[in-house]
């Protein structure tokens, strides 16, 4: 029987809709673009006859001629694939149709099912969501064309999409930020082509637009055939996982698993959308899931999936598989730490592509949950690999000149008589390129990305390094580069040491392999991966990562002591050092921390880890927190002092509304110090008799000003201490994870259960959980969700004494583990290690999560703009 392959299932799903996308102009939103990029779907789309692939959010009027040539007809078929709710994508779909006036058939594929649309609180669509949207889209489009036709009679050449008012049906109003169709940079012949088609199609409004909406669930980001996450810019990934209450930490994380029953009306949208996604993912992969859950939100998701099961599912012949749902809040320490993982280091070091737009609703539904936030903004999974940096400086100008010459030839070919101005602009642009580097242009054109299907002799690159440590991964990348150079018959004079891979070794190999265009195209997969590895092992990034590892190792060691005093002292020392680094950077005119040194935000992240460790090891040291009152007061004083001495290092959410006053106070203190310094240098002989006579009056005025300043300083310090007190109350909540999360209370997953003597070698929850499950040991809090039909059969057989025992997850040949809240690269490696140590090579383990978490993402979720704190 064929092995389970998530990437292949995604590509097969695209082939299944080939008749819909053939001959179409295809629009992808940001989430779908991320998904298709990771699975390497763009060549497949072109093979299935797609005429052009465009961005849904960033569409422009020139999309109408993106696939045009002299012998082609204008595109009459538009297909939209979106990872969002139809209500969120509506204004962009309508803008598409308003631009492509020749379109007669519009097909929309959404990753959100009809059931999820009807269950989502903010969606205006009902149980027959797709048919409702089809009629609504046709209505809005016909109104758009009618108003455009009326306006065209009054004003020649008016834009057909400028004026439209959508009814208050929950839709966001159409954004009118699009440029006019007749852009100046397009030639007159191209403009004539667009206008002729617009006029012809405006006269042919009688032909009704055919709209069809379908469900396309396989929009996910596969890092390998068995590891995936959800797109960061899709409705499922952005939906909040908890409402704001006492047990909630962040909208991007599940609440604490206190065991209290949740009201059905308070189910977070993220739970509903995740349940629907997993249900349809299993259906697409022909898997019949036996569902197990650990954590309160996971139980809710499992219950929703169970309620979706039907007799139809039971009757079909599917492969049996086990689904294990796990709450991220059961283990926050692992994603907060900087583990030994090349993939984690690369994603933390590489810049991310900025989001093109925001899908936040302008109007909220009346059924919106109380205290609910807007959609969560997660860090984009679309990293920008700086390929331009591996090219030589002279290559920049060569490539740019070639591109400009091609554009010039294109314009001359369209209209040789009217392209003089464009040619002149291109000549000026050439001169500008010759004089300076167009950095923005380089980033846009020469930025690489990860593609899971790029492989070396059948082995996908990403899959091979996903569970590798940093050193092992870079050595493997070096080996692939050497093989590629050997295949291309390229010789590079580099001193190579076996068992090591440094930047000085990798960079010349990458440059040599990318020297010619043909070699660059043939080896683009390994070149992109090697360029990403170069960023990760660069000294400025690796030094900071190593500093984090050293600090985290030290915190683990001191947390294993008998008292909490050493741990508190170590946290305080980290805060002091980070404050000194910030102060030193400010004196030098640099706000960033020096190489290899940790910033104040880094110290706060380490303090989060320290408090979690203290809660596990010293739960009763203080009355409220894991530290005594004296130890915690010293930590508070350190933070207050660090913020007052250098406000620029503390731009955090809990100081919102107070930063202006802190910075003003800091400037006043500095100005007073400079005045005192200058006054000491003034000679007393410089004063005349009149000034001596006014000396007493000035002294009285200075005393009054001094009193006001002292009062203001006291008020500011009191307000700042209140904010810092609230920070430590939040840290107390983090330290109580072990006591308040019911599955962790009995200590089944504690560090002392590890057989290694090194406390830093303690594994994450996922490793411990899989180890216990595969060895068929009891897991406290693990719940099995029997389907409605299964419960019916069991209750019937039980009458005759034939009741069946609860199935075991270890008996399944396929196990899908999904962490609600996200995973990281270290957990991928530890999951594979747990499977290898179990002696069960026959089990196919698939690991998924809401997103890929980095330590910086965790800081944002817990203390940043994405936190409830």
pLDDT in tens, 412-442: 554 444 445 555 555 555 555 445 444 444 4
pLDDT at 444 > cutoff 60: no
- Is-contact 27 54, C-beta < 8 A? yes
Burial (CB count within 10 angstroms: exposed 0-12, middle 13-18, buried 19+), residue 398: exposed
Q: Which residue has the higher pLDDT, 434 or 39?
A: 39
- Is-contact 351 383, C-beta < 8 A? yes
Q: Give the gyration radius of the chain's Cα atoms.
A: 31
CA-to-CA distance for 290 and 535, rounded, in angstroms?
42
Q: What is the pLDDT of residue 156?
A: 53
pLDDT at 221 > cutoff 80: yes
CA-to-CA distance for 531 and 514, rounded, in angstroms?
11
CA-to-CA distance for 590 and 405, rounded, in angstroms?
41
Q: What is the pLDDT of residue 834?
A: 93
pLDDT at 445 > cutoff 50: no
Task: Kindly provide the residue ranges of all beta strands, DSSP E only, lying in 610-682, ordered along the sequence.
Answer: none
- What are the residues whose beta carbons fall under 8 Å from the beta carbon of 385, sequence distance 6 or more? 350, 447, 448, 449, 450, 528, 531, 532, 535
Task: Output the DSSP codes for 458-481.
Answer: TEEHHHHHHT--HHHHHHHHHHHH
CA-to-CA distance for 161 and 183, rounded, in angstroms?
15
CA-to-CA distance for 78 and 98, rounded, in angstroms?
12
Determine how many CB atoms are found less than 10 A away from the CB of residue 220. Answer: 26
Do the strands 319-327 and 385-386 form a parallel or antiparallel pair, or are they unpaired?
unpaired
Find the DSSP H helices in 681-824: 689-693, 695-735, 737-740, 765-774, 788-798
Instruction: Delineate the domains of the chain, giving CATH numbers in brackets.
Output: 6-150+207-215 (3.40.50.2060), 221-339+764-863 (3.40.50.1910), 387-434+443-537 (no CATH), 554-582+596-672+710-758 (no CATH)
Closest CA to 111 of 13, 211, 227: 13
Q: Which residue has the higher pLDDT, 488 or 365?
A: 488
Closest CA to 28 of 279, 342, 382: 382
Q: Quick: pLDDT tens for 350-370.
A: 988 877 655 444 334 333 444
Closest CA to 507 of 520, 492, 497: 492
- Residue 230 phi/psi, 5-degree rounding, is -90, 155
- What are the residues whose beta carbons fall under 8 Å from the beta carbon of 412, sequence distance 6 or more? 419, 423
CA-to-CA distance for 819 and 847, rounded, in angstroms?
8
Q: What is the pLDDT of residue 453?
A: 83
pLDDT at 461 > cutoff 60: yes
CA-to-CA distance for 860 and 94, rounded, in angstroms?
34
Distances (CA, A) of 291 to 257, 288, 371, 809: 18, 9, 31, 9
pLDDT at 6 > cutoff 80: yes
Say how many CA atoms lie within 13 Å of 258 toward its Cβ.
11
Closest CA to 617 of 762, 775, 728: 762
Q: What is the pLDDT of residue 161?
A: 45
CA-to-CA distance for 67 and 76, rounded, in angstroms?
12
pLDDT at 807 > cutoff 70: yes
Q: What is the pLDDT of residue 610?
A: 93
CA-to-CA distance for 807 and 790, rounded, in angstroms?
12
DSSP 313: H
Task: Output the DSSP codes for 533-598.
Answer: HHHHHSHHHHHHHHHHHHHHHHHHHHHTSSSSHHHHHHHHHHHHHHHHHHHHHHHTT--SPPTT--
Q: pTM for this one?
A: 0.84
Q: Quick: pLDDT tens for 582-641.
A: 555 555 544 444 555 788 889 999 999 999 999 888 876 556 788 888 899 999 999 988
Q: Which residue has the higher pLDDT, 813 or 398?
A: 813
């Amino acid at each position: 029987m064929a092995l389970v392959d998530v990437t292949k299932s995604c590509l097969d799903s695209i082939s299944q809709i080939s008749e819909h996308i053939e001959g179409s102009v295809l629009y992808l939103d940001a989430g779908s673009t991320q998904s298709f990029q990771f699975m390497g779907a763009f060549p497949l789309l072109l093979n299935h006859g797609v005429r052009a692939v465009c961005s849904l959010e960033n569409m422009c009027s020139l999309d109408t001629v993106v696939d045009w040539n002299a012998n082609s007809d204008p595109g009459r078929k538009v297909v939209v694939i979106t990872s969002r709710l139809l209500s969120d994508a509506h204004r962009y779909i309508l803008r598409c149709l308003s631009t492509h006036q020749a379109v007669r058939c519009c097909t929309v594929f959404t990753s959100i099912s009809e059931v999820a649309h009807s269950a989502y609180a903010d969606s205006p669509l009902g149980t027959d969501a797709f048919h409702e949207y089809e009629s609504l889209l046709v209505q809005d489009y016909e109104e758009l064309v009618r108003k455009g036709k009326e306006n065209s009679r009054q004003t020649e050449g008016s834009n057909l999409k400028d004026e439209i008012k959508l009814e208050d049906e929950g839709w966001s109003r159409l954004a009118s930020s699009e440029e006019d169709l007749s852009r100046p940079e397009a030639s007159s012949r191209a403009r004539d082509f667009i206008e002729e088609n617009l006029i012809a199609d405006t006269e042919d409004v009688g032909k009704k637009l055919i709209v069809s909406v379908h469900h396309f669930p396989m929009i996910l980001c596969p890092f390998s055939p068995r590891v995936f996450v959800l797109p960061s810019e899709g409705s499922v990934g952005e939906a909040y996982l908890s409402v704001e209450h006492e047990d909630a930490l962040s909208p991007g994380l599940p609440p604490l698993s206190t065991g209290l029953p949740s009201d059905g009306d308070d189910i977070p949208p993220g739970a509903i959308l995740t349940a629907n996604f997993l249900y349809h993912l299993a259906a697409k992969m022909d898997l019949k899931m036996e569902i197990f859950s650990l954590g309160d939100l996971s139980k809710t998701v499992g219950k929703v999936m169970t309620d979706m099961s039907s007799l139809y599912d039971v009757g079909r012949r599917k492969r049996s598989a086990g689904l294990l749902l796990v709450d991220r809040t059961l283990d926050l320490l692992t994603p907060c730490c900087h583990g030994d993982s090349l993939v984690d280091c690369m994603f933390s070091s590489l810049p991310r592509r900025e989001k093109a737009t925001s899908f936040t609703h302008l109007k909220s539904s009346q059924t919106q949950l109380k205290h609910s936030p807007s959609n969560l903004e997660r860090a984009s999974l679309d990293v920008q690999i700086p390929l331009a940096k591996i090219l030589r400086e002279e290559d920049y100008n060569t490539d740019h000149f070639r591109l400009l010459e091609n554009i010039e030839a294109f314009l001359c070919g369209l209209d040789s008589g009217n392209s003089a101005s464009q040619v002149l602009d291109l000549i000026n642009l050439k001169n500008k390129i010759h004089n300076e580097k167009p950095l923005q242009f380089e980033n846009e054109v020469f930025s690489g990305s990860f593609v899971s299907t790029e492989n070396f002799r059948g082995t996908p690159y990403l899959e091979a390094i996903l569970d590798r440590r940093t050193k092992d991964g870079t050595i493997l990348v070096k080996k692939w580069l050497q093989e590629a150079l050997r295949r291309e018959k390229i010789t590079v004079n580099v001193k190579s040491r076996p068992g090591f891979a440094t930047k000085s070794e990798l960079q010349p190999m990458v440059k040599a392999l990318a020297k010619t265009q043909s070699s660059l195209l043939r080896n683009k997969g390994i070149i992109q991966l090697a360029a990403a590895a170069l960023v990760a092992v660069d000294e400025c990034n690796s030094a900071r990562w190593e500093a984090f590892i050293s600090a985290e190792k030290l915190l683990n060691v001191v947390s294993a002591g008998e008292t909490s005093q050493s741990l508190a002292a170590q946290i305080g020392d980290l805060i002091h050092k980070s404050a000194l680094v910030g102060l030193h950077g400010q004196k030098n005119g640099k706000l960033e921390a020096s190489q290899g040194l940790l910033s104040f935000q880094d110290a706060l992240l380490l303090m989060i880890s320290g408090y979690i460790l203290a809660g596990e090891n010293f739960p009763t040291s203080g009355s409220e927190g894991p530290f005594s009152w004296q130890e915690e007061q010293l930590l508070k004083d350190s933070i207050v002092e660090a913020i007052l001495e250098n406000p620029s290092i503390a731009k955090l959410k809990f100081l919102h509304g107070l930063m202006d006053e802190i910075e003003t106070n800091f400037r006043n203190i500095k100005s007073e110090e400079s005045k005192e310094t200058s006054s000491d240098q003034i000679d007393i002989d410089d004063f005349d008799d009149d000034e001596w006579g006014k000396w007493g009056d000035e002294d009285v005025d200075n005393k009054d000003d001094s009193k006001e300043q002292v009062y203001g300083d006291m008020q500011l310090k009191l307000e700042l201490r209140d904010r810092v007190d609230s920070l430590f109350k939040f840290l107390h909540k983090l330290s109580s994870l072990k006591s308040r999360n019911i599955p962790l209370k009995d200590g089944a997953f504690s560090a002392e259960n590890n057989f290694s003597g090194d406390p830093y070698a303690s594994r994450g929850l996922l490793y411990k959980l899989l180890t216990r499950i595969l060895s068929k040991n009891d897991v406290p809090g693990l719940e099995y969700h029997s389907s409605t039909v299964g419960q019916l059969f069991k209750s019937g057989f039980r009458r005759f004494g034939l009741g069946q025992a609860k199935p075991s997850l270890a008996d399944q040949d396929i196990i899908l583990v999904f962490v609600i809240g996200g995973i990281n690269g270290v957990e991928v490696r530890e999951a594979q290690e747990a499977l290898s140590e179990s002696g069960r090579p026959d089990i196919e383990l698939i690991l998924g999560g809401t997103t890929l978490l980095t330590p910086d993402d965790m800081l944002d979720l817990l203390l940043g703009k994405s936190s409830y704190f």
